[in-house]
Amino acid sequence: MLFISAAIQLIDDLADAKQDLSNGYETLVMKDYYKTFGTESEITDERINNILTQDRLKLIYRTGQDLFDKSRKLFEKHDEFVIQLSAELWNFNFTTLFQID
């Protein structure tokens, strides 16, 4: 459950990055935002996109997929098919956060 929980948290951090920053939280997804732009600056989509470089997005994607793979293997090993199905749905939700050009 630890792997799936970490993956779900990664989804949450990516999906509401702007809201987290507005509330004063710099998650791992937005690491170095305040260092780059300061804590008093306006939080804009442009600045968020500046932090979410292609390299960072690839790292987030690979990390998420690794966490889902690890959880999937454990669920299969213990015949936890209902939980595995839930994990697959979360993985689908995760992949929809990425746009591939």
Rounded distance between C-alpha atoms, residue 101 and residue 98, angstroms: 10
The 3 state secondary structure assigned to the chain is CHHHHHHHHHHHHHHCHHHHHHCCCCCHHHCCHHHHHCCCCCCCHHHHHHHCCHHHHHHHHHHHHHHHHHHHHHHHHCCCHHHHHHHHHHHHHHHCCCCCC
pLDDT digits (tens, 9 = 90+) for 28-65: 999 999 999 999 999 999 999 999 999 999 999 899 99
pLDDT at 22: 95
Rounded distance between C-alpha atoms, residue 17 and residue 48, angstroms: 8
pLDDT at 101: 64
Is 81 a residue whose pLDDT tops 90? no
pLDDT at 100: 66
pLDDT at 70: 94
